[in-house]
Amino acid sequence: MRSPGLLRWAIPVAFLSAAACASRGTAATEPAAPAPAAAEPAASVQPPAEAVRASERVTLTGTELGTMWTFENPPLDYWQSRYGFRPTAEWLEHVRLSSVRYGDSCSASFVSSAGLVMTNHHCARECIEANSSARDYVVEGFYAPTRKEELLCPGLFLDQLVEIQDVSQRVQGAAPSAASATQIAEAQQAEQAEIQQACEAASGLSCQVVSLFHGGQFKLYKYQRYEPVKLVFAPELQAGFFGGDPDNFTYPRYDLDVSFVRAYDADGTPARTPHYFQWDASGADENELVFITGNPGGTSRLVTVSQLMYELRLRHPYTVRLLELEVGILKRIAQQGPEAEKQVRDRLFSVENALKAYRGQLGGLRDTLLLGRKIRWEREFRQKVEADAARRAQYADAWDRMAEIQAEKLQVAAHRNLNDFNFRLAAPHLTLAGMLVRYIRETAKPEAERLERYRGENLQQIEQTLNGPTRVNPDFSALLLEAQLQLAREFLPPDAPMVREAFHAGESAADAAHRLVTETRVDEVDSRRALMRAGPAALDTASDLLVRLARVMDGAFREAERRLNDLEARQSVQDERLAQALFAVFGTQLPPDATFTLRISDGVVRRYPYNGTFAPPVTTFHGMYARSAEFNNEMPWTLPRSFAERRSAVALTTPLNFVTTNDITGGNSGSPLIDREARVIGVAFDSNIEGLPNEFLFSTEAARAVGVHAAGITEALRNVYRADALLKELVGEEPKKK
Amino acid sequence: MRSPGLLRWAIPVAFLSAAACASRGTAATEPAAPAPAAAEPAASVQPPAEAVRASERVTLTGTELGTMWTFENPPLDYWQSRYGFRPTAEWLEHVRLSSVRYGDSCSASFVSSAGLVMTNHHCARECIEANSSARDYVVEGFYAPTRKEELLCPGLFLDQLVEIQDVSQRVQGAAPSAASATQIAEAQQAEQAEIQQACEAASGLSCQVVSLFHGGQFKLYKYQRYEPVKLVFAPELQAGFFGGDPDNFTYPRYDLDVSFVRAYDADGTPARTPHYFQWDASGADENELVFITGNPGGTSRLVTVSQLMYELRLRHPYTVRLLELEVGILKRIAQQGPEAEKQVRDRLFSVENALKAYRGQLGGLRDTLLLGRKIRWEREFRQKVEADAARRAQYADAWDRMAEIQAEKLQVAAHRNLNDFNFRLAAPHLTLAGMLVRYIRETAKPEAERLERYRGENLQQIEQTLNGPTRVNPDFSALLLEAQLQLAREFLPPDAPMVREAFHAGESAADAAHRLVTETRVDEVDSRRALMRAGPAALDTASDLLVRLARVMDGAFREAERRLNDLEARQSVQDERLAQALFAVFGTQLPPDATFTLRISDGVVRRYPYNGTFAPPVTTFHGMYARSAEFNNEMPWTLPRSFAERRSAVALTTPLNFVTTNDITGGNSGSPLIDREARVIGVAFDSNIEGLPNEFLFSTEAARAVGVHAAGITEALRNVYRADALLKELVGEEPKKK
């Protein structure tokens, strides 16, 4: 499965692993241990008493697991009873074939029979940037009135889901029943690969086996892939990301986050796409049924309460602090000048986005009522398991086993993360010291017993580095090391070996980092060579303080990593048992967790209670002009140039953005919003901040999907950008003859 | 001191006492007891552990007690160091004499030399309504282009503070030092009355002795009273209260909450007012210093942590529930038809306003960080007292004594409130039963030992009622009794005599109320006469269930009232000791709690963090048109008729509302916002919802005063209302000759 890369929210694992100078993907995805502060209660995976009390009072809505339905199992009866709407098989097929997955990160839809595709501006941003060397289309926006003027999006493809086959029996029966857990997993993976290859060879399609319900079902998804793809229209960044990071994830919003691309056949002609969504600029009234079709990247709604408590007690607070420190570092770098600012701009955008998402999720975890609802859901699920003797024997202890594992992870995870030389914000000096320590230790062993990176060609690279000149910036190193030490102080107990080795009594993280980086000689090749010559025994008496720190960290890391890997393996077993229990109790009546594959979610346009009053169901162009004026036209609320110039031509009360109760998350960016006639009424681009806790439990009280309204897109194309040809293709009129 | 009556927020005591059919002013101001629910922890006045932990981390700002400075003791050094601004004595006098108190509820300011006064629309509403019998100026708005057309505001007066004298020594020395607490209080009150009378006789001014710092200081305030007062301009209610109850207390906001009246001399000529604020439509930039002068009604910033815990555990939750039930009742009445709706409209507005204010304050009490800051403030204050032997001996135990009193109040208050026949939502049938029970019991005693209402003329009235025909609506009675029983079930222990008497096992409050009201004969005069003849002994065996309930309640109320009165007296003693301790430690460097007398608060125009982004420093006319369109022009966001008709003439980016960090509360409504040149740049009309917890502790992180911007008033007068003559008087130009 491709993992979504360029998500507006729900920080992708791939991003978090892209650490400053290393590539192991664990830095922020598996954080930290019990807080050492004396005033805090001992960390535990028991939920807080208030949440347990709240669970006695809450009512479940039946949609706690959300509404991200699969096309192979649409909830026809539920839709019928709730909305009086029962789509036909033709309707469902048409909608499925009109929807496409956009690259490996977003969603999109066909909006003309000639391959025209609508997605978000932030999804097309990579393509716009790739074409911005001569003219800066990011800043200026782009419009191709004719096909000749369209610009190639390098590497971009669009996947249309054309067929779905159930392969559960083949995959699940791949291993003999007496096989061990590991053997089963390996056999199943081999079977999936074989299915995919056979499918691709036979059909010429792009094939993928999808595991739903954490292994409860396996489906073969076959995609028609469209490439090349060309850029047709993009507004200025200032229109497509109006309000910038402050307004990101919020609503009321005034954001023209839309772009158009076109799918081409290999022969250079626009793809013929008979299945496409008709344009409906009139939108939907409040409380009217709307669907979103798209590819949500991932959700964590099947996790247990004890897993949530691990998130609450450790992973989320740790990640928030880590990202806060990173934002601080990036901003200090940006202050060094325009060139430095440009270098870190994209990363700063990504990290600020992730920080906001994590903070929002942490807020949800701290919400007594939300946690209470989760507790109640789990209690009712467990009761259903307990009520049946066979199920009780098979699954009833899974929750307790899971809780034990989480409690152990609380003790171990921060040690693993913070002793890691591949720490997300690793200081170059410490990376060097770590490489040196490991080299000395590993090369003293027979090759077969060494770590992977200390064998063969890898080893030669390391030797080159250690024996050559190294240029490492001490100021930058001190800045990064300070962050790592600060986190160690906050998330490791005071007697952790690394903490004792790094700090003098009463010293701040900044002072310790500065001292260590200034005094070490690890950046001098002669010093490194002397240590390599002295061998492993001499390490224990080395006088270089950073080498001593690295030595302690190396030991602590290996121990913590071993324990954590063991815990992860044990957790996988319980994960699977719980998924089976869910499947046994509920069958397919609940939607599976998101898997970055096509889903259809139902909802309605609806205002919500907010800040003591109501957030409106729609916003208008008035609002963009208002918000800009309110902040004196300063960034990031500066009026986009086109909007400023064409102000008098704009119908100010035209809807611009709107909110619905549909269930979306990262990966859904660019999803079409459609009505019951399968007409497109907007494009989804964000969740409001109240929707971030939906990661763990779905609710529609204040959580909303935010979209650009079709009327707003029409008005902008007509009166702001005067993109007549595009507009005519959209609304279905013939282009005027010239 | 007059108590503010028509406040937009901070529910006035006078309002809460205006119960359905009774007049005792204690119903909602002194609520209820420990929650009986088994799942809840025992109520206590100890702050929650999280708040205590939070107190270790918070930093105090030095303005926890706010910035409501008195004119006799302006913090000149603080202003100098903070803003580089040191007003002269002339500046202060000019500002004081340009400010006026508006009736007994609001604030206002002179804005021309001919007695023109600016205040809020909601302050002038009473006057507008009084003049709306022929034409409905509430709905239409009102404008008098000439003085002849101005309309008299019946009973309205304006008070200008012309002189302040310190009378602390006279009042505090009024009693011999050996006198008891009661003797001292009586002697001081007599002295104050004498001072006021002598002052009024000698000066012809309106005089008032004001107790600051809860008796730490006494000041004689002398007012020039202006009356009659006439109405000059009021916008439509839909402009002056745009967004209605939903948007009340919120921001961003688009509310033209402004009116103009004129002060007249007794001879019918407009008052000459050489001290008035110059008009400055350019307003203030963000972060620019602004002052608000006005009459804040009351704050509770000097209360102890244990008093706050009483508010958190009982008074606020009780009041919120009480007001929720009342809103429900009023809405059910309103649904009966247009006439019923009109009868309850004003009360519904008041109760919804109060409910929103109480909910906002309760939110603050539940905010761990806010409570932590209060805990820290108290700890530091106590340490300063402990640090000095004399102070320690005199005051150190006051906090513990206060905590004991609060813990007892938690046990008693709900019994007093819910057994009260003068309960805020008293059912007429129960009122009758109560009157009957008390009449029988009291008239059995010698007259001198009876309750006040059961003597002399009062007794005759009661006898008339009991012996005459009574018309009580059983449906209405059942509705009210249900609310009282519902609260009893929620706030009294299950073994409270009233609860045991009122409910059958497993019965709902609605069913119990219906049963009691249906079965009782207390509404029949023969039945009452029979009971009166039978005398007190027969009460114990009465078969009428409502009479039996009233009998039990009467006993419980007398006991609880006795205990609570005793607790209140003991609390007064500690209140005064704590005020003395504060005064001993800090002198007059801290501002006293608000007393509905003239204060001057400093602040700056400033955006604030909100909903994940920022709320802007100003809003614009765009926003009103936007919000109306967003909600499809439905109520309460329907566009005011003038704004709809004159849409094309309005400069949409003109500022309409704005926010500042000034310290205001109920009573400040209508206060001028002025800059350092003493030019008026707006009129304050509300607090944002984040500002409601400022009742207990002042903070400027997100709490803001909300004002109408002078530019917005100018634009509205010029282009929406075309009120040329008024505009010219404001901006200082000569009216055009015709």
Between CA A351 and CA B530 the distance in angstroms is: 82
For chain B, first and last CA: distance in Å? 48
pLDDT reading at A24 higher than 50: no
Torsions phi, psi for A208 (to 5 deg): -150, 130
**CB < 8 Å to A252, chain B:** 630
DSSP strand pairing (B278-279 vs B679-687): parallel
- Name, of A8-12, B297-301, B530-534, the range with top average pLDDT: B530-534
Dump pLDDT digits (tens) for A234-254: 999 999 999 998 999 999 999
Cβ–Cβ contact A613 with B under 8 A: yes
A613 vs chain B: nearest CA distance in angstroms? Answer: 5
Please report the pLDDT score of residue A202 as a whole number: 96
| Angle B83-B86-B92 from CA coordinates, rounded to 5° | 120
**CB < 8 Å to A376, chain B:** none
Establish how many alpha carbons lie within 13 A of residue B479's alpha carbon, considering only the half-sphere containing its beta carbon: 15
- Burial-class residue A472 by CB neighbours within 10 Å (0-12, 13-18, 19+): middle
Nearest CA in chain B to A657: B630
- Helix (H) or strand (E) holding A17, with range, is helix A13-17
Q: Cβ A286–B632 below 8 Å, yes or no?
A: yes
Cβ–Cβ contact B608 with A under 8 A: no
Please report the pLDDT score of residue A258 as a whole number: 98
Q: How confident is the model at residue A558 (pLDDT cuts 50, 70, 90)?
A: very high
**Closest Cβ–Cβ partner in A613, A623, A626 for B247:** A613
B420 vs chain A: nearest CA distance in angstroms? Answer: 30
Give mean pLDDT, residues B667-686.
Answer: 97
Establish how many alpha carbons lie within 13 A of residue A687's alpha carbon, considering only the half-sphere containing its beta carbon: 30
**CB < 8 Å to B356, chain A:** 612
Find how far residue A672's CA is from the centre of its chain.
20
B622 vs chain A: nearest CA distance in angstroms? Answer: 5
Closest CA to A5 of A94, A98, A101: A101
Nearest CA in chain B to A637: B616
Give mean pLDDT, residues A402-406.
Answer: 96
Q: Cβ B623–A623 below 8 Å, yes or no?
A: yes
Cβ–Cβ contact A39 with B under 8 A: yes
**CB < 8 Å to A613, chain B:** 243, 246-247, 250
- Which sign does the torsion angle of CA A495, A551, A481, A360 carry? negative
Residue B228's contacts (CB-CB under 8 Å, 6 or more residues apart) are: B152, B153, B156, B264, B266
Please report the pLDDT score of residue B49 as a whole number: 80
Cβ–Cβ contact B617 with A under 8 A: yes
Please report the pLDDT score of residue B579 as a whole number: 86
**CB < 8 Å to A605, chain B:** none
Cβ–Cβ contact B623 with A under 8 A: yes
Cβ–Cβ contact B625 with A under 8 A: yes
Between CA A190 and CA B243 the distance in angstroms is: 63
Structure tokens at A296: 């949500």
Please report the pLDDT score of residue A366 as a whole number: 87
Dump pLDDT digits (tens) for B442-478: 999 999 999 989 998 999 999 999 999 888 899 999 9
Cβ–Cβ contact B616 with A under 8 A: yes
Please give the DSSP secondary-structure letter assigned to residue A719: I
Please report the pLDDT score of residue B233 as a whole number: 98
**Closest Cβ–Cβ partner in A611, A618, A629 for B689:** A611
Dump pLDDT digits (tens) for B82-117: 999 999 999 999 999 999 999 999 999 999 999 999
Q: Cβ A622–B617 below 8 Å, yes or no?
A: no
- Burial-class residue A267 by CB neighbours within 10 Å (0-12, 13-18, 19+): exposed
Dump pLDDT digits (tens) for B167-196: 999 998 888 877 777 788 889 999 999 999
Length of chain A, in residues: 738
% of chain A beyond a pLDDT of 90: 75
Torsions phi, psi for A520 (to 5 deg): -70, 155
Establish how many alpha carbons lie within 13 A of residue B366's alpha carbon, considering only the half-sphere containing its beta carbon: 14
**CB < 8 Å to A623, chain B:** 622-623, 626, 630
Q: Cβ B626–A626 below 8 Å, yes or no?
A: yes
Give mean pLDDT, residues B324-328.
Answer: 95
Q: How confident is the model at residue A14 (pLDDT cuts 50, 70, 90)?
A: very low
Give mean pLDDT, residues B244-263.
Answer: 96
Give mean pLDDT, residues B626-631.
Answer: 97
Establish how many alpha carbons lie within 13 A of residue B679's alpha carbon, considering only the half-sphere containing its beta carbon: 15
How many contacts (CB atoms, under 8 Å) link A and B?
Answer: 93
Residue B417's contacts (CB-CB under 8 Å, 6 or more residues apart) are: B26, B27, B28, B30, B31, B32, B318, B423
- Helix (H) or strand (E) holding B725, with range, is helix B724-731
Please report the pLDDT score of residue B106 as a whole number: 96
- Integer CA distances (angstroms), A561 to A287, A413, A420, in order: 51, 8, 9
Q: How confident is the model at residue A733 (pLDDT cuts 50, 70, 90)?
A: low
Give mean pLDDT, residues A610-614.
Answer: 93
Residue showing tokens 């690295």? A550
**CB < 8 Å to B693, chain A:** none
Q: How confident is the model at residue A9 (pLDDT cuts 50, 70, 90)?
A: very low
Dump pLDDT digits (tens) for A190-207: 999 999 999 999 999 999
Give mean pLDDT, residues A593-607.
Answer: 96
Higher pLDDT, A207 or B10: A207
A360 vs chain B: nearest CA distance in angstroms? Answer: 9
Whole-number average pLDDT of chain A: 90
Cβ–Cβ contact B712 with A under 8 A: no
Residue A406's contacts (CB-CB under 8 Å, 6 or more residues apart) are: A45, A306, A307, A309, A310
Structure tokens at A495: 């007697």
The torsion of the CA quartet B243, B245, B246, B247, rounded to 10 degrees, works out to 50
Give mean pLDDT, residues B495-516.
Answer: 95
- Burial-class residue A364 by CB neighbours within 10 Å (0-12, 13-18, 19+): buried
Closest CA to B131 of B202, B197, B230: B230
Give mean pLDDT, residues A286-310.
Answer: 94
Closest CA to A80 of A544, A649, A602: A602
Q: Are A623 and A656 in contact (CB under 8 A)?
A: yes
Between CA A212 and CA A218 the distance in angstroms is: 6
**CB < 8 Å to A652, chain B:** 622, 625-626, 652
Regarding pTM above 0.80, the answer is yes
Identity of the residue numbered B6: L
Q: Cβ A626–B630 below 8 Å, yes or no?
A: no
> Best of B622, B632, B692 to disrupt the A interface by mutation (most A CBs within 10 Å)?
B622
Nearest CA in chain B to A658: B630
What are the beta bridge partners of residue B159? B101, B225
Give mean pLDDT, residues A311-338.
Answer: 93
Residue showing tokens 């039990």? B552
**CB < 8 Å to B614, chain A:** 246, 631
Cβ count within 10 A of residue B687? 31
pLDDT reading at B10 higher than 80: no
Between CA B693 and CA B670 the distance in angstroms is: 21
**CB < 8 Å to B627, chain A:** 616
% of chain A beyond a pLDDT of 70: 93
Cβ–Cβ contact A246 with B under 8 A: yes
Beta strand extents in A213-365 (DSSP E only): 217-226, 229-234, 259-263, 278-279, 289-294
**Pick from A25-39, B162-176, B551-565: least confident:** A25-39
Between CA A305 and CA A300 the distance in angstroms is: 11
Please report the pLDDT score of residue B43 as a whole number: 63
Structure tokens at B591: 């501002």
Structure tokens at B17: 């006492």
Q: Cβ A250–B612 below 8 Å, yes or no?
A: yes
Please report the pLDDT score of residue B36 as a whole number: 35
| Three-state DSSP state, B603 | strand
Between CA A596 and CA A593 the distance in angstroms is: 10
Give mean pLDDT, residues A30-43.
Answer: 38
Cβ count within 10 A of residue B374? 24
Please report the pLDDT score of residue A172 as a whole number: 87
Between CA A707 and CA A714 the distance in angstroms is: 14
Q: Cβ A616–B630 below 8 Å, yes or no?
A: yes
> Best of B250, B366, B630, B657 to disrupt the A interface by mutation (most A CBs within 10 Å)?
B630
Structure tokens at A465: 């580095």
A332 vs chain B: nearest CA distance in angstroms? Answer: 22
% of chain B beyond a pLDDT of 70: 93
**CB < 8 Å to B40, chain A:** 53
Cβ–Cβ contact B249 with A under 8 A: yes
Please report the pLDDT score of residue A33 as a whole number: 35
Residue B521's contacts (CB-CB under 8 Å, 6 or more residues apart) are: B527, B544
Q: Cβ A617–B623 below 8 Å, yes or no?
A: no
Q: Cβ B630–A612 below 8 Å, yes or no?
A: no
Nearest CA in chain A to B57: A39
Torsions phi, psi for B248 (to 5 deg): -55, 135
Between CA A65 and CA B535 the distance in angstroms is: 66
Torsions phi, psi for A162 (to 5 deg): -100, -25
Q: Cβ B622–A619 below 8 Å, yes or no?
A: no
Q: Cβ A626–B617 below 8 Å, yes or no?
A: no
**Closest Cβ–Cβ partner in B246, B614, B622 for A613:** B246
Nearest CA in chain B to A607: B631
Q: Cβ A626–B623 below 8 Å, yes or no?
A: yes
Cβ–Cβ contact A80 with B under 8 A: no
Please report the pLDDT score of residue A302 as a whole number: 85
pLDDT reading at A51 higher than 90: no
Q: Cβ B630–A617 below 8 Å, yes or no?
A: yes
User: Which segments of B313-397 does DSSP mark as H helices, in order?
Assistant: 316-334, 338-365, 368-386, 389-395
